[in-house]
Structures are given as structure tokens and as C-alpha cells.
Amino acid sequence: MKYYIDAMGGDYAPLEIIKGTVDAVNEYGISVTLIGQESVLRQHLSQYDYDQNKIEILHANSTITMEDDPILAIRNETESSMVIGLQAVKNNPGSVLISAGSTGALLTGGTLILGRIKGIKRPALATTLPKKDGITLMLDSGANADCKPDYLEQFARIGSIYMESIHNIKDPKVGLINIGVEPQKGNVLMKEAFLKLSESPINFIGNVEARDLLVSNADVLVTDGFTGNVVLKLMEGMLKFLMSGIKSALLGPQRESSVAY
């Protein structure tokens, strides 16, 4: 598999992207292609020890920022690291693009440049959540704020395929995030989605309440992008809150405020 990495995408690019790339090359022996301003990338790479045959550079003149309009950026910034990376993946089937840049632009670019899998009506953002005995894949995490029951059923299918193919989980269990475990619970979307999932050729185990997301036996959790994004950011906020409280208890409030988390 060929790996393309958007070296200019992300809040701490390109320094942190390069550090991670070098670590991956040294630890796993993979070969990658970094995409970005060649002179800048070579300057940073010169500070590290690695097999130089393992990292290639694909020059890009510009970068899509978090503030750019995703659609306009993909259409107009054709020399940006993200667009060049997407075009490279299109020209090299079986390759992948890794980017920490604008999620909206990456999603838009993936749809406009690479296209959707035949029969898939909407792309979804997938997020892995921790649980006691491994991980759970939640989708959608924010690509589609408004969904139809058909979309959620397709999310369940592609999530199941991912978990079976990538994580070797046979017949993954699929749960629907809802406000109750009973089939009749939820709004119109969730009630109709429950029926769709029940009739789908997947291992559907029913509704999963928010309090059980990290302890359920589901391998795949399905929801609309609005709910999924709220769940994801609530978890991020709770983690920061808990870490702050733990550090305050251990170090005291004055020292805790100076410690990053």
C-alpha cells in the first residue's frame, strides 16, 4: 500500500506531521510520500535519523486552512497539499491519504475528486471509541447533520465491513445510538432506522443509550452526524475536565494551571 501524507495539514504542521512520519518509518519500516513545500519539509527532515529511501516528497505550493470554505478551497486550491494528495490517491488505486487538515475540505475533496463507492448515498466520518476489551467504531461523527434512515443503514454496513476487514472482527455487532433501548424509543428518524437495521443483513443488536457507549458490546455504533459530533465533543470535554480535576488534586490548583493536558 502506498501512503500519502498531507504534511501541511493540521494545527501543528509540518513539524508534528514530520515527527510522526519519521517515527512510523523507523518503527514499521514503511515507505511514505510527504506532500508540501519541498524546501520546508527537507529542512525539518534534516534534523532526524531515518532511511532516506523510505520518505519521498511531493511538492505542493499552498495549504488549505481551517478557515477556508471547503468547497471553494477544493475547487480553487488545486496546488494545495490536500488536493494534490487526493489526486495522487485517485491516480494510484489502493493508496491512502492521511491528513490532519480541514475535515470539511477533506470530506468534500474525497467526494468530489475520489467519488463515493457505487450505491453509497452519503460518506460518513468514523471515529474509534475506547471500550474495555478493544474499540468501537462510531459513525457518522459529523459529515451529515441531517440523515435519512437509508443513510444510517448504509453506515452500519460500511462500518461492519471496516471492522471485519481491518480489525478482524467476525460478524461485528451493530448498535443504534438512541435515548432508550426499547425499539419504539426515539424520534422519527431513529424509529425508522431501527426497522431498517432490523431488516438489514448485519448483526444488529438494537438501541444503545449514551451512558452505555463505552461499555456496550457493540463493535459499530450508528447515528446521524449531528448526534455523533455532539457525543464526540462531549467526550473530549469530559476528558479535559477529568484530567484537570485529577491534576488539581495531585499537584494543587496553582501548579495544575501551568500543566498542559
Whole-model pTM: value is 0.83
How much is the pLDDT for 260? 54
User: Is pLDDT at 257 greater than 60 in this prediction?
Assistant: no
On whether the CB atoms of residues 68 and 104 are closer than 8 A, the answer is: no
Strand partners, 173: 203
Can you say how many angstroms the Cα of residue 77 is from the centroid of all Cα atoms in its chain? 23
Q: Residue 240 corresponds to which cell in the numbers above?
A: 479535559
C-alpha 7/C-alpha 53 separation (Å) is 18
On whether the CB atoms of residues 60 and 37 are closer than 8 A, the answer is: yes
How much is the pLDDT for 119? 86
Q: In degrees rounded to 5, what are phi and psi of residue 58?
A: -115, 115
Q: Residue 251 corresponds to which cell in the numbers above?
A: 499537584
Which residues neighbour 27 within 8 Å (Cβ) at sequence distance 6 or greater? none
C-alpha 161/C-alpha 120 separation (Å) is 13
Which residues neighbour 7 within 8 Å (Cβ) at sequence distance 6 or greater? 13, 14, 17, 18, 21, 34, 35, 36, 41, 81
Q: How confident is the model at residue 258 (pLDDT cuts 50, 70, 90)?
A: low
How much is the pLDDT for 118? 86
How much is the pLDDT for 1? 84
Q: Is 134 strand, coil or helix? A: strand
Q: So what CATH class is 126-233?
A: alpha beta
C-alpha 190/C-alpha 227 separation (Å) is 11
Every domain of the chain and the residues it spans = 3-114, 126-233
pLDDT tens, 71-121? Answer: 999 999 999 999 999 999 999 998 999 999 999 999 999 999 999 888 889
C-alpha 53/C-alpha 235 separation (Å) is 40
C-alpha 33/C-alpha 49 separation (Å) is 17
Is domain 3-114 annotated with CATH 3.30.70.20? no
C-alpha 83/C-alpha 89 separation (Å) is 10
On whether the CB atoms of residues 28 and 22 are closer than 8 A, the answer is: no
